[in-house]
Amino acid sequence: MVKQIVNPYEVKGSIDYDKLVDEFGVSKINNKLLNEIEKNVGELHFLLRRGYFFSHRDLDKLLKRYSKGEKFVLYTGRGPSGSTTIGHLLSWVFTKWLADKFDVKTYFQITDDEKFLFNPNLNLTETNKLAYEAALDFIALGFKEENLDVIVNTNAADILYPVAIRIAKKLTLSSVKASMGFNDSSNIGINFYTAMQSVPVFLESIRQKKNVPVLIPYGIDQDNHFRLTRDVAEKLGFLKPFTINCKFMPGLKSNDGKMNASDPNSAIYTTDDEKTVINKIKKAQTGGRETITEQKKLGGRPKECNVYSYYDLFFEPDDNKLKTIYSNCVGGSLLCGECKLMLANKVNVFLKKHQIERHKAKSKLKNYFLKKDFDTIRID
Ligand code: SF4
């Protein structure tokens, strides 16, 4: 079995989420917290019900503030090392749900600088282009212009840099190296970068000239960044960010690690056409048996099946319909070929609509970019 590695720059192995909760010092989302969320917004997203968003930092405290009338903002992002996948969309769709249900604003940071600095095979033109592609995918989910600020790091440097250097002054090289697994051969840019990823946590507070709480939904692999941000927040006079963390969506080919945007066979991209989706899903790893006879007799193994994971995490939000897929699979009445085609149809219906919205987003992209309509020189 491949050893578990989880950090912002590498996710490998069969992931033990309980172990990560202990290692990272996050808290599990329990029923009490789920009830609190439901009490505030009237329902639970299926990704909460199904435990995909599984851990948090101080979310209970944020809900208390919210229930007393204090608004927060959301902050999430994307490191553009390849085209956007369904795996990325998953937590963005959840972010949109949070934005709608709590009626709050969202900051979306796209870190073209980070991917340029970290990846020797990508130049800045490429990461910048990928950043704009990612922005289209995020906007396509239906955020209103007035409720979303999109930040492409290299294009918003004049706004980010004055805040980033204040953060950087409070971060030591040894703490960044230890958290991120960098060493003396790592370039100095990537060591500075974590300060850039922290900036959006503070922007709304700077804008409003008062402390505004921030909730960050992110994949648990990003936790090291935000542990550092939480460490410096109070030193700079801000609230520590609140977080909610999700598990990884597996690739189509393997249950280990997470969907890899750089591996076209493992990932479904938001720009894939119908045929490509069908072909990729046909080749997906399943929990099916060697032969049809065996499958009918013994049933499939949905818990070991990537196709089932796609229903569970994205394409079948209805719990009863999901249960039917599960029981038909284990009962042997559903065969993998049919099950894959059903999934491919669902993915294609979703992508058709998404691609239309994505195309529409091109003409209004600029309206969403963060504007320098506030003074960033306030903190010291
Ligand atoms: Fe997976 Fe569907 Fe096959 Fe069951 S029938 S193992 S859920 S692909």
Specify if 261 maps to a domain.
no
Does residue 313 sit in the same domain as residue 223?
no
Does residue 308 sit in the same domain as residue 172?
no
Q: Is 103 left (phi over 0), alpha (psi -120 to 50) or beta?
A: left
> Atom 4, ligand 1: which residue's CA is nearest?
329
How far does the centroid of ligand 1 lie from the alpha carbon of residue 301, in Å? 7
Sorted by sequence, the CB contacts under 8 Å of residue 105 that are 6+ apart come out as: 73, 74, 99, 147, 148, 149, 204
Pocket test for ligand 1, best of 322, 327, 329 (most atoms within 8 A of CB): 329
Does residue 237 sit in the same domain as residue 278?
no
Angle at 336 between CA 331 and CA 337, to 5 degrees: 135
For residue 194, the one-letter residue type is T
Cα(218)–Cα(241) distance, rounded to whole angstroms?
12
> Atom 3, ligand 1: which residue's CA is nearest?
336
Specify if 123 maps to a domain.
yes
Q: What is the pLDDT of residue 13?
A: 78
> Atom 8, ligand 1: which residue's CA is nearest?
336
Cα(195)–Cα(186) distance, rounded to whole angstroms?
16
Does residue 88 sit in the same domain as residue 157?
yes
Cα(267)–Cα(117) distance, rounded to whole angstroms?
24
Does residue 230 sit in the same domain as residue 94?
yes
Cα(300)–Cα(326) distance, rounded to whole angstroms?
9
Specify if 373 maps to a domain.
no
Sign, CA dihedral 140-141-143-149, equals: negative
pLDDT tens digits, one per residue of 117-143: 999 999 999 999 999 999 999 999 999
Which domain range does residue 179 map to? 5-252
Domain count of the fold of the chain: 2
Q: What is the pLDDT of residue 379?
A: 60
Angle at 140 between CA 270 and CA 144, to 5 degrees: 160
pLDDT tens digits, one per residue of 147-192: 999 999 999 999 999 999 999 999 999 999 988 889 999 999 999 9
Cα(218)–Cα(58) distance, rounded to whole angstroms?
14
Does residue 187 sit in the same domain as residue 323?
no
Phi, psi for residue 43 in degrees, rounded to 5: -160, 170
Q: What is the pLDDT of residue 322?
A: 98
How far does the centroid of ligand 1 lie from the alpha carbon of residue 289, in Å? 9
Phi, psi for residue 159 in degrees, rounded to 5: -85, -40
Does residue 171 sit in the same domain as residue 278?
no
Atom nearest to 311 CA in ligand 1: 7
Does residue 295 sit in the same domain as residue 247?
no
Specify if 267 maps to a domain.
no
Q: How many residues does the chain have?
A: 380
Cα(172)–Cα(38) distance, rounded to whole angstroms?
40
Three-class DSSP category at 86: helix
Compute how many other C-beta atoms are within 10 angstroms of the C-beta atom of residue 234: 11
Specify if 259 maps to a domain.
no
From 212, 213, 216, 220, select the one nearest 243 (Cα to Cα).
216
Cα(279)–Cα(250) distance, rounded to whole angstroms?
17
**CATH code, domain carrying 339:** 1.10.240.10
Does residue 169 sit in the same domain as residue 40?
yes
**Confidence (pTM):** 0.94
Identify the band that residue 144 occupies on the pLDDT scale cut at 50, 70 and 90. very high
Q: What is the pLDDT of residue 100?
A: 97
For residue 134, the one-letter residue type is A
How far does the centroid of ligand 1 lie from the alpha carbon of residue 300, in Å? 6
Cα 344 from chain centroid (whole Å): 22
Identify the band that residue 9 occupies on the pLDDT scale cut at 50, 70 and 90. confident
Specify if 156 maps to a domain.
yes
Pocket test for ligand 1, best of 310, 321, 336 (most atoms within 8 A of CB): 336
Cα(119)–Cα(100) distance, rounded to whole angstroms?
35
How far does the centroid of ligand 1 lie from the alpha carbon of residue 296, in Å? 12
Specify if 126 maps to a domain.
yes
How far does the centroid of ligand 1 lie from the alpha carbon of residue 299, in Å? 9
Atom nearest to 325 CA in ligand 1: 7
Does residue 20 sit in the same domain as residue 99?
yes
Pocket test for ligand 1, best of 280, 285, 286, 296 (most atoms within 8 A of CB): 286
Does residue 225 sit in the same domain as residue 317?
no
**CATH code, domain carrying 242:** 3.40.50.620
Atom nearest to 284 CA in ligand 1: 8
Phi, psi for residue 365 in degrees, rounded to 5: -50, -45
How far does the centroid of ligand 1 lie from the alpha carbon of residue 3, in Å? 27
Q: Which of 5-14, 18-27, 158-167, 361-370 is the least confident region? A: 5-14
Answer yes or no: are the C-beta atoms of 48 and 34 closer than 8 Å.
Answer: yes
Cα 374 from chain centroid (whole Å): 28
- Ligand 1 site residues, Cβ closer than 6 angstroms: 286-288, 300-302, 305, 307-308, 329, 334, 336, 339-340
Does residue 170 sit in the same domain as residue 290?
no
Specify if 374 maps to a domain.
no
Q: What is the pLDDT of residue 358?
A: 97
